[in-house]
Amino acid sequence: MTIAILYRKELREYDFGPGHPFCGDRYQLFHKFLAQKLKPEGHYKILKADWATDEDLMRICQRDYINFTKQYYSSVNLGLEGDGDFFQYHSLDNLPVGRPGKVEEAARLVIGQAKLAADLVQSGKYQKAVSIGGGLHHAKRASGEGFCLYNDVAFTAIYLMERYHLKRVLILDTDAHDGNGTSEYFYSDPRVLFIDVHQDPRTIYPGTGFALEIGAGEGIGKTVNIPLPADAGNDSYKLAFEEIIEPLTAEFKPEIIIRNGGSDPHFNDGLTSLGLTVAGFEMIGQKVKEMSTLCEGKVIDLIASGYHPGVLPYAWMALISGLADFGVSIEEPSPIPASLRTDAHLPDTQEVIDEVKSYLRDYWHCLQ
């Protein structure tokens, strides 16, 4: 299977400055790893997208937020003092350190890649498209946070529904952090099934994504949060797929799957406390591939997160390899701690799953 991988070197500008956890070298790091690990012929094609316009951004953002974000990040990139209204529009974690890259321009590129990915898949040119740099799931209509300026996950779903009139879109967020921004966009929208599997929000930013958060109004039951205990590993994720994610997907019958999330659920990430191994990331990719048989194989995959450079390219490659069935061998870059060689938190995960089902069973036949 040949998949589309959207990437261009300008993504490196998505860099908040020296010492900030989110730096732009991640994209080149993965691009080089991919080229070394697997030749493109018969596997993937690297494609370049254009930058999003203001009109594109208006699908997901307020005009004043776009204007401020463009002006502020352009100024600080040039070494100038930014507008003092920063905290009206952005949280502290989006504050640049020193002199950042052209962050806002790179954020527009990420949205442009999401748009191209949707067009490629819906046109039938590719069944599966991967946007390197995508998955900026904390951004909202009028504010940015969590290293995210513009929410390409939300853009992808909204663009598909507006441009192609899709009525059943599945978003699967496997990032270690709850996709609070994405959740806000679709909390009352019955067209989107938003499933988010993440670390227990009592132990990690942004402190949202509890099992009882299930949507509202016409969208009640369509937001599904699976908050895993700290150190939950491969078996916990497998259980979440088998007992919740796969049955809901089969009942929902999506027209397309959008998955986002990078390497930060890895046990050695550094900013998170989950227990996935490289094999676990490949399993996630494989599960999504299997689920996509319900929607003619259509998947848009958005990958950006991860905070250990020694882990990131291995986990990203495992996700993509599982999704595209590349069949390449990807070694584990870090020694697996003895405490994680078996998933000791499986009973705790089962309790979480039972709780999730208790909140959702009135809305889904497969959970009754």
**Count, residues in the chain:** 368
- Indicate which residues carry an active-site annotation: 138
Give the phi and the psi of residue 159 in degrees, each rounded to 5. Answer: -60, -45
Yes or no: say if 128 and 298 are a contact pair by the CB < 8 Å rule.
Answer: yes
Of 225, 208, 219, 130, nearest to 173 by C-alpha is 225
Q: Which amino acid is at 345?
A: H
Yes or no: say if 319 and 284 are a contact pair by the CB < 8 Å rule.
Answer: yes
Q: Per residue in 139-178, is it b (16+ CB within 10 Å) or e — as a string? A: bbeebbbbbbbbbbbbbbbbbbbeeeebebbbbbbbbbbb
Cα angle: 226, vertex 228, 233; to 5 degrees: 125
Of 150, 164, 149, 62, nearest to 117 by C-alpha is 164
CA distances from residue 81 to 68, 75, 86, 87, 245 in whole angstroms, order as listed: 13, 7, 11, 14, 46
